[in-house]
Amino acid sequence: GGYGGVVSMSGCIVRPDEFRLSPEAVDTPVIQCHGTSDPVILPKYAQETVDHLRESGAKDVTLVWYPGMEHSARETEIDDIALWLKLKAKLGCKEKTDTEVVSGLSVKQLKHALRLFNVDPTKIANCVEKSELCEAVLDAMKV
């Protein structure tokens, strides 16, 4: 049961006072992608959505900002979502363990994943071997 994950692109919870997170949904990973220059759904509403989800008990919420992006999408946003789906929702690789999925990524994808999960850039720079990057990604994936 349950969902693999929730993807929100330039969205928000419209009526947070009426929104209730079901007990089954607290473990569902969420990614909220939003442009910093969105004139339709202001960035503050994206931040409020993430805050509300966390306050409601959601355990795994990722917020990704896209500087200068308006109410639209970018190729980098799609790439971020594709990588997130592979790591968090295990899209296309349900039969694999997290370790197998992560070890199958390139060094570039591993570094990208660490940035996506808001890992300190110093920690990323201190990873010299691919195995260190894999370990850091696996740590970042833990809720």
Q: Are residues 53 and 101 in the same domain?
A: no
What is the rounded distance in angstroms from the CA atom of residue 35 to the CA atom of residue 132?
31
Is residue 70 domain-shared with residue 106, that is, in the same domain?
Answer: no
Query: Would 84 be classed as within a structural domain?
Result: no
What are the CA-CA distances from residue 97 to residues 50, 80, 107, 138 (Å)? 28, 21, 19, 11
Number of Cβ atoms within 10 Å of the Cβ of 141: 16
Domain-located, residue 130 = yes
Q: Are residues 18 and 70 in the same domain?
A: yes
Task: Report how many domains make up the chain.
Answer: 2
Exposure of 116 by Cβ count < 10 A (0-12 exposed, 13-18 middle, 19+ buried)? buried
CATH number, domain containing residue 8: 3.40.50.1820
Residue 85 lies in a domain: no
Residue 86 lies in a domain: no
Closest CA to 77 of 141, 34, 115, 15: 34
Q: Is residue 89 part of a domain?
A: no
Same domain, 66 and 105: no
Domain for residue 57, yes or no?
A: yes
What is the rounded CA–CA span in Å between residue 44 and residue 12?
Answer: 10
Give me the domain span that covers residue 121.
Answer: 96-143
> For every one of its 143 residues, what pLDDT tens digit does the chain have, with 9 covering 90 and above?
567 889 999 999 999 889 999 998 999 999 999 999 999 999 999 999 999 999 999 999 999 999 999 999 999 999 999 999 989 877 667 788 899 999 999 999 999 999 998 899 999 999 999 999 999 999 998 85
Question: Are residues 60 and 13 part of one domain?
Answer: yes
- In a shared domain, residues 103 and 67: no
- Out of 26, 43, 76, pick the residue that ends a domain: 76
